[in-house]
Amino acid sequence: METVASTASFVSSASPVAGETDESSHGFLRTAWDFSFRMVLRYIKNSYKDDPFRTFLEVCLIGFIVWYMAKPKYNIGTNKVELSEKEIDELVEEWRPEPLVPALTEFERETLDKAIMIDGPNGTKVRLASGSNNKPVLNFASYNFLGFVDSPELGKHAVESLRKYGVGTCGPPGFYGTLDVHMELEKQIAAFIGHSAAILYSQAFTTTLSVIPCFSKRSDIIVADEGVNFAVQQAIFLSRSKVYWYKHNDMADLERILKDVNKQLVGRRGKNALPRKFIVTEGLFQNTGDISPLVELVELKHRYKFRIILDESFSFGVLGKRGAGLTDHFNIDPHEIDLLIGALCFAIGASGGFCCADKDLVEHQRLSGAGYCFSASLPGILTIAAADAIHALEADPDSYLDNLRDNAVLLRTLLKRIPGLQIDGAADSPLIHIRLAPDALVRMKRSGGAWTKTDIDRVLTDVAEEAQKDGVLLTRAMYVDDHERILPNSSIRICVSSAHTRKEVEKCAHAVKSAVSRITSKKR
Amino acid sequence: MGKGQRAVHAFKSTEFIEHTRDKDGLLVGGEQYPFKQAPKNSSTLLLSEKTTSTPAVSKEVVEANLTEGVQKKEPSELEAVPTLILVTTYLSFLMLIMFAHMRDFIGKILNPEQYVQLREQSGYAPMVSDFESLWTRRLYGRIRDCFNRPITGVAGGRVNLLERVSKDFNNTFQFTGRVHNVLNLASYNYLGFAQSEGPCADKVEEAMHANGITQSSSRAEVGRSRQLAETEDMVARFVGTEAALIVSMGYATNALNIPTLVGKGCLIISDELNHSSLVSGARLSGATIRVFKHNDVRNLEKQLRFSVSQGQPRTHRPWKKILVVIEGLYSMEGQFPKLPEIIELRRKYGFYLFVDEAHSIGALGKRGRGVCDHFGVDPREVDVLMGTFTKSFGAAGGYIAGSKALIDYLRLHSHSAVYAESMSVPVLAQISSSMRMIMGEDREHALEGQQHLEQLAVNSRYMARRLAEMGFMTMGDPGSPVIPLLLFNPAKIPAFSRECLKRNIAVVVVSYPATSIITGRVRICISASHTREDLDYALEQISEIGDLLMLKFHKDKVAQEHEQSSSTTSSKKNA
């Protein structure tokens, strides 16, 4: 009893120091503290009386816990060097950082100086601010597959919607940035593709960048095509998942990896939870113009229990009988694709992107999709432009898509006849990459030395410039060379549009032919 | 006075407005509040022709700011919080989480079908893990009606909210078809340029007629139009740098450009409260990332000394570059960075400075040029200035501004310029027209931009002062258009939002994970399009809600101060 009394006196003597203010809350807390302190002491005292050894054990245990908590969590070996203040000052004084950005090379400077500048609206025919004469040139460089970019009706409606929605939404979708037209467009896209739900992002690149890391986390597994576009590469990198790359469109290689992955997982299943497993590929490859073999992919998906993330940025609006993308093209139930990513800025001619998935997964993105959650929503005008374009495509798909396919096939056949060129990609893909054939390169090099990438880029730039003189606007496919995982071979990327006439397509092929023959005849 | 001259003198009219202000920046003297409505004829304000020197930065300003920064006590967020509130908040969260787990536990036994998504099924791992989604399902789900509220029309000073109800505890919502016109204290429409009518909208329409809508290509390929190039030049002029690059989305401006600036062997030192886009950008860059305590310059210096002296981990090779990333206005806290001090450090340590002006550009500084203008710092002292057009300009997208060498490099190597779609025509037109107005270059509306800036400054100071007077606990620096008001208890978070909505006010409430677990808050965004009546109405209603929810933590203190001041004045009178 003595101890209890002394603790009580200790507590009461300590209490005036603890709380000098006379707030009621403090008074209450003090009483509570007082009470619990006494309880603990009484407990210790009693237990000591009963079993002194137990108290000793408990004290040891507490000591161990304190030691355990206090020790550094995990030692990664910082390898720190102890330095005096003076030494640090000297090191600070000495340290010279590299320049923030390296200086441009001669060729890069040239590229920048000669960069195309469009004067007025973009479309199938554009005026160039840089050109000497102000004659419009035929545009085979924009991703204007369906001609929506310069469609006058869509433009008119968009102007009208300006008077209702203004321009910016001034907030992310979570904070009063969700417009009624956003919700309508989401429903419309989901219905058009035939999936359960859709979510709208305000930029196509960021859509991919948000969706993949949103579901695929550090411990998960991604098996991806080597030829995917840069946005997918970045998204995979951002997700920090374990990634395996399979050879571009090679289903046998994919199957080999899937088997491997599953074999590895068998062993560790007991210890850890099953990771999420994804196959990531692109519908219409931006870098090659190839089309993914979806039928085989879906079969493999089921056989090996993977999910599919499909980037349809370039195939949405382009492939399929209705223009609903790759699933439409192969007549496969869109629900087979677990996450379907699309873009509204290419074929649809508006801006932004979307992701189609099951309702739960879409709702999950509204809180966890970084690009959705942390950036302003798509402006109302562009939303309406996208909705109108999809309506137009839905109402009369044949008038857009038949033309597009015919033009694509025609241009591809014409281009294939040109000597010295190498044309890849699927037969009816409107994305055509033209590359210089190896034999042509050998012929062109006077000294017989090796071609550097800059040399080839320069030749292709010259080809594009020559074609521009003939009234056809072309562009070399641009990449951030040192950031691409596998840099695609340099090419000129031609995008056919349904709004091009047969004659215009022929003119394009002709311009390419004469430009190539003029440039390749020069020795370098 | 000629029109051109008028334009030139437009921003100098600050002087005219300034002499009638008290220390809070509130207008005093006149009974009539002059800027309730923007005058139709802008020249009326130019009657007094004061030609003062441009509000260029004087040394005193910098010094004053510096000393202010040092002298001002930095009350830690939690220091001033009443203990009872602290305890109840933690207890509430504990209870919420316990209940969440219990509901999950019981639910899984009684109603297993509902939890199918969370379990491994036929060899597929769940898409969203059980524990990860607990917060979303059990905590966010309960207050889901406070977020993603759909609107229609323009998010201006007032906004049209679509009424929705939920019959299944926020699982789904049904629209009733009714539309509520509510006061908008939520959108980032700081300068009030989110409009569907008026000079900016007219310019946008003109531009759409002339240039269509979009480019369907990236900037580096064929997405560069004359309009884009001209707007980029204007942005550079506005920000005060040599050149600028426009990106079609705000988040992407950070996420896709930082990887071009730094890479492996480089170091990013980032403020701990930096925006998610900066974090994504830093992660994408592959550089080493270190974090310094929010707005703690001393901690930053410590990090710098450590990093520079130790070099890269393990190899001790010197860092290639060090990039310090801060924001111009922390949107969740309403706080400014300590820019002048960080620039001092930059001179000493030679790192590169990246300032994200997403919220500050247009909203801060006498001329609206952002945080550099606010602190009187030369923008060229900052290596990379990033900002967005979503907020003050009523548009969308963002920009990177800096030296010509930097921007030229970015134009060819930035992921956003090479791969992402280029900026659309209407957005560009909105940017250029609103920016011209702010700069006073639009001859027909020469003074309106400056008025917007004035109105915003006055509104934000008024609101912050009045809220503090009522005894609310607010955060943020004086003059910030974002005023966070601390709520603490999790139950008060949805309650505040719903009460506000009942009273026709739209506000944003944020809680963990956007803030620390204890400091749940409501964020009030002030706009230049709010009139004094709007603010008074809001204050009156918020005061009522504050009484209802017991939010006036400083009520006693304010009353005491009031008493003291009145007693001193009375004693003076007696004497």
Over residues A363-405, the pLDDT tens digits come to: 999 988 999 999 999 999 999 999 999 999 999 999 999 999 9
Average pLDDT, chain A: 87
Total residue length of chain A = 524
pLDDT score recorded for residue B268: 95
Structure-block tokens of residue B272:
């701990």
Chain B: nearest CA to A484, how far in angstroms? 10
Chain A: nearest CA to B141, how far in angstroms? 11
Subunit contact A101:B208, Cβ cutoff 8 A: no
B562 pLDDT higher than 80: no
Condensed to tens digits (0 to 9), the pLDDT of residues B473-511 reads: 888 888 899 999 999 899 999 999 999 999 999 999 998
Subunit contact A122:B393, Cβ cutoff 8 A: no
Which of B126, B283, B321 is opposite residue A98, by nearest beta carbon?
B321
Cβ-based neighbour number of residue A252 at 10 Å? 9
B44: pLDDT confidence band, cut at 50, 70 and 90? very low
End-to-end CA distance of chain B: 54
Which of B147, B197, B221 is opposite residue A174, by nearest beta carbon?
B147
Which of A91, A96, A477 is opposite residue B309, by nearest beta carbon?
A91
Residues 6+ apart with CB under 8 A from B180: B160, B161, B163, B504
Q: How many domains does chain B have?
A: 4
A77: pLDDT confidence band, cut at 50, 70 and 90? low
Pairwise pLDDT comparison (A54 vs B93), residue with the higher score: B93
Q: How far apart are CA B334 and CA B482, in angstroms?
A: 5
pLDDT score recorded for residue B50: 36
Q: How far apart are CA B460 and CA A25, in angstroms?
A: 34
User: Can you tell me the ipTM of this complex?
Assistant: 0.85
pLDDT score recorded for residue A78: 62
pLDDT score recorded for residue A25: 63
Q: Please tell me the least confidently modeled range out of A76-90, A491-505, B65-79.
A: B65-79
pLDDT score recorded for residue A445: 73
Structure-block tokens of residue B85:
């509130």
* Long-range pairs, A407-414, Cβ under 8 A, ≥24: A407/A496, A407/A497, A407/A498, A407/A500, A407/A502, A407/A505, A408/A432, A408/A496, A410/A502, A410/A505, A410/A506, A411/A494, A411/A496, A411/A505, A411/A508, A411/A509, A414/A505, A414/A506, A414/A509
pLDDT score recorded for residue A314: 93
Subunit contact B222:A118, Cβ cutoff 8 A: yes
Nearest residue of chain B to residue A478 (CA atoms): B418
pLDDT score recorded for residue B411: 93
pLDDT score recorded for residue B33: 34
pLDDT score recorded for residue A151: 82
B237, B381: one domain: yes
Average pLDDT, chain B: 83
Mean pLDDT score, B153-180: 90
DSSP B321-363: -EEEEEESSBTTTTB---HHHHHHHHHHH--EEEEE-TTTTTT
For helices B425-439 and B199-211, the axis angle rounded to 10 degrees is 140
DSSP A99-136: PSSPPPPHHHHHHHHT---EES--SSEEEESSSSS---
Contact B160, B153 (CB under 8 A): yes
Task: Provide, as residue numbers in chain A, all residues whose Cβ is less than 8 Å from the Cβ of B456.
Answer: none
B383, B333: one domain: yes
Helices assigned H by DSSP within A305-417: 326-330, 359-368, 370-373, 380-395, 397-416
Range of the domain at B174: 152-184
A355 pLDDT higher than 90: yes
Residues 6+ apart with CB under 8 A from B182: B158, B159, B160, B161, B501, B504, B505, B506
* Contacts A–B by Cβ distance under 8 A: 373
Interface probe, candidates B124, B251, B550, chain A, greatest A C-beta count within 10 A: B251
Task: Provide, as residue numbers in chain A, all residues whose Cβ is less than 8 Å from the Cβ of B122.
Answer: 305
B173, B119: one domain: no
pLDDT score recorded for residue A427: 87
Chain A: nearest CA to B47, how far in angstroms? 33
Task: Provide, as residue numbers in chain A, all residues whose Cβ is less than 8 Å from the Cβ of B393.
Answer: 168
Residue type, B525: C
CATH node for A106-148+398-521: 3.90.1150.10
B4: pLDDT confidence band, cut at 50, 70 and 90? very low
Task: Provide, as residue numbers in chain A, all residues whose Cβ is less than 8 Å from the Cβ of B553.
Answer: none
* Residue whose entry in the numeric block shows the structure tokens 């920009």: B399
A270 pLDDT higher than 70: no
Nearest residue of chain A to residue B195 (CA atoms): A166
B121, B233: one domain: no
Matching CATH topology for A106-148+398-521 and A152-396? Answer: no
Q: Which helix (H) or strand (E) holds A67?
A: helix A52-70
Chain A: nearest CA to B76, how far in angstroms? 20
Condensed to tens digits (0 to 9), the pLDDT of residues B247-290 reads: 999 999 999 999 999 999 999 999 999 999 999 999 999 999 99
Q: Please tell me the least confidently modeled range out of A75-89, A119-133, A175-189, B326-340.
A: A75-89
Condensed to tens digits (0 to 9), the pLDDT of residues B404-457 reads: 999 999 999 999 999 999 999 999 999 999 999 999 888 888 788 888 999 999
B289, B336: one domain: yes
Nearest residue of chain B to residue A382 (CA atoms): B213
CA B282 to chain centre: 20
B283, B417: one domain: yes
B163, B243: one domain: no
Condensed to tens digits (0 to 9), the pLDDT of residues B98-130 reads: 999 998 889 888 988 878 777 777 788 888 877
Interface probe, candidates A351, A365, A367, A373, chain B, greatest B C-beta count within 10 A: A351
Subunit contact A168:B224, Cβ cutoff 8 A: no
In a domain, B275, yes or no: yes
Q: How many helices (H) and strands (E) does chain A have?
A: 19, 15
Subunit contact A371:B319, Cβ cutoff 8 A: no
B69 pLDDT higher than 90: no
Task: Provide, as residue numbers in chain A, all residues whose Cβ is less than 8 Å from the Cβ of B308.
Answer: 88, 91-92, 95
Subunit contact B188:A171, Cβ cutoff 8 A: yes
Chain A: nearest CA to B573, how far in angstroms? 33
Which of A177, A364, A375 is opposite residue B249, by nearest beta carbon?
A375
Task: Provide, as residue numbers in chain A, all residues whose Cβ is less than 8 Å from the Cβ of B261.
Answer: 100-101
Chain B: nearest CA to A16, how far in angstroms? 17
Half-sphere exposure of B69 (CA within 13 A, CB side): 19
Nearest to B236 by CA among B464, B401, B435, B466: B401
List phi, psi (to 5°) of B64. -60, -45
B77 pLDDT higher than 80: no
B317, B409: one domain: yes
Subunit contact A478:B84, Cβ cutoff 8 A: no
B310 pLDDT higher than 80: yes
Contact B124, B525 (CB under 8 A): no
Task: Provide, as residue numbers in chain B, all residues whose Cβ is less than 8 Å from the Cβ of A98.
Answer: 320-321
Chain B: nearest CA to A13, how far in angstroms? 22
Subunit contact B415:A205, Cβ cutoff 8 A: yes
**CATH code of B241's domain:** 3.40.640.10
Mean pLDDT score, A226-236: 94
B64 pLDDT higher than 60: no
Nearest to A5 by CA among A44, A41, A50, A53: A41
* Residue whose entry in the numeric block shows the structure tokens 């033009």: A407
* Residue whose entry in the numeric block shows the structure tokens 């809220």: B467
In a domain, B294, yes or no: yes
A447: pLDDT confidence band, cut at 50, 70 and 90? low
pTM for the model stands at 0.84
Subunit contact A162:B226, Cβ cutoff 8 A: no
Half-sphere exposure of A418 (CA within 13 A, CB side): 26
Task: Provide, as residue numbers in chain A, all residues whose Cβ is less than 8 Å from the Cβ of B275.
Answer: 374
A72: pLDDT confidence band, cut at 50, 70 and 90? low
Which of B283, B411, B506 is opposite residue A112, by nearest beta carbon?
B411
pLDDT score recorded for residue B20: 45
Task: Provide, as residue numbers in chain A, all residues whose Cβ is less than 8 Å from the Cβ of B188.
Answer: 170-171, 376
Pairwise pLDDT comparison (B44 vs A267), residue with the higher score: A267
Chain A: nearest CA to B478, how far in angstroms? 23
List the domain boundaries for chain A: 2-14+29-69, 106-148+398-521, 152-396
A132: pLDDT confidence band, cut at 50, 70 and 90? low
A520: pLDDT confidence band, cut at 50, 70 and 90? confident
Interface probe, candidates B134, B216, B324, chain A, greatest A C-beta count within 10 A: B216
Chain B: nearest CA to A443, how far in angstroms? 29
Chain B: nearest CA to A134, how far in angstroms? 14
Subunit contact A142:B215, Cβ cutoff 8 A: yes
Contact A138, A508 (CB under 8 A): yes
Subunit contact B187:A171, Cβ cutoff 8 A: yes
Task: Provide, as residue numbers in chain B, all residues whose Cβ is less than 8 Å from the Cβ of A118.
Answer: 215, 222, 224-226
Chain B: nearest CA to A223, how far in angstroms? 15
Chain A: nearest CA to B125, how far in angstroms? 5
Nearest residue of chain B to residue A167 (CA atoms): B395
B385, B488: one domain: no
In a domain, B412, yes or no: yes
Q: Please tell me the least confidently modeled range out of A292-306, B25-39, B70-84.
A: B25-39
Half-sphere exposure of A5 (CA within 13 A, CB side): 2
Q: How far apart are CA B252 and CA B284, in angstroms?
A: 12
Residue type, B136: T
Which of A165, A364, A478 is opposite residue B128, by nearest beta carbon?
A364
pLDDT score recorded for residue B13: 36
Task: Provide, as residue numbers in chain B, all residues whose Cβ is less than 8 Å from the Cβ of A141.
Answer: 217, 221-222
Subunit contact A275:B209, Cβ cutoff 8 A: no
pLDDT score recorded for residue B573: 54
Which of A79, A103, A376 is opposite residue B314, by nearest beta carbon?
A79
B568: pLDDT confidence band, cut at 50, 70 and 90? low
Total residue length of chain B = 575
Q: How far apart are CA A397 and CA A150, in angstroms?
A: 18
Subunit contact B225:A483, Cβ cutoff 8 A: no
B79: pLDDT confidence band, cut at 50, 70 and 90? low
Contact A144, A493 (CB under 8 A): no
pLDDT score recorded for residue B61: 40
Task: Provide, as residue numbers in chain A, all residues whose Cβ is less than 8 Å from the Cβ of B196.
Answer: 162-166
Residue type, B296: D
Cβ-based neighbour number of residue A270 at 10 Å? 6
Quote the percentage of chain B above a pLDDT of 70: 85
In a domain, B331, yes or no: yes
B323, B229: one domain: yes
pLDDT score recorded for residue B122: 78
B395, B509: one domain: no
Task: Provide, as residue numbers in chain A, all residues whose Cβ is less than 8 Å from the Cβ of B197.
Answer: 163
B570: pLDDT confidence band, cut at 50, 70 and 90? low
CATH class given for the domain over A152-396: alpha beta
B371 pLDDT higher than 50: yes
pLDDT score recorded for residue A523: 64
Contact A174, A366 (CB under 8 A): yes
| 3-class secondary structure, A218 | coil
Mean pLDDT score, B547-573: 76
B128, B277: one domain: no
